[in-house]
A and B are shown apart, each in its own frame.
Chain A
Amino acid sequence: GQNIDQPTEMTATEGAIVQINCTYQTSGFNGLFWYQQHAGEAPTFLSYNVLDGLEEKGRFSSFLSRSKGYSYLLLKELQMKDSASYLCAVRDLGGSYIPTFGRGTSLIVHP
């Protein structure tokens, strides 16, 4: 199984940049997902990393270092609508291929 750790809550200012970290321990890494979940809504897919490096997608980027068991989600030009929970999920080489979710980071963007 995995041990996934991410901060419980973060706050940031509109227009700023915020980095949400996720560390994990796994017996055999096989991919990391980031999801966004607004209050009362379903999680929606943001990004997927399986190789080291940075994946950029508009205002959002996700970074992975497999050797360090570390990922971050970078949000640029923050908007009020970015206030949400951000879920890190890690898949390992176990038989089920199902990701295990971290507890999520609640991001509050204020004016």
Chain B
Amino acid sequence: DVKVTQSSRYLVKRTGEKVFLECVQDMDHENMFWYRQDPGLGLRLIYFSYDVKMKEKGDIPEGYSVSREKKERFSLILESASTNQTSMYLCASSLEQGAESVQETQYFGPGTRLLVL
């Protein structure tokens, strides 16, 4: 079974703090993703990566950055947390980039619920 883990289930930070959210997958997947999920807005893509050291902006990258130094690990960084970044953050991975098949199925981590005060 694919396993995607996230470093924290719950996190409370103060405005202006630098926040690191870590994600690790154990299935040698090429692609990794960071989403945030908010009531009424669904899942929105922040950043994704299709290879080590590669990153691409998603739909809402402002206020975030990412790092992928190793294939299994994808980190989301909030340089200076703000209250509007209070959200559920979900990491996901998938096997192949550009595969036109069910192999593009994404496997999600359990999520990190971040509260910024």
**Residue A103 at the chain B interface, CB threshold 8 Å:** yes
B31 to chain A, nearest CB (A): 8
Q: State which size class the interface on B falls in.
A: 20 to 34
**Residue B104 at the chain A interface, CB threshold 8 Å:** yes
CA distance A50 to B48 in the complex (A): 23
CB pair A99 B106 closer than 8 Å: yes
Q: How many residues of A contact B (CB 8 A)?
A: 23
CB pair A91 B104 closer than 8 Å: yes
CB pair B42 A102 closer than 8 Å: yes
Q: Give me the interface of B with A, judged by CB distance under 8 Å.
A: 4, 33, 35, 40-45, 48, 56, 58, 90, 97-102, 104-111
Q: Give me the interface of A with B, judged by CB distance under 8 Å.
A: 30-31, 33, 40-45, 48, 50, 87, 89, 91, 96-104
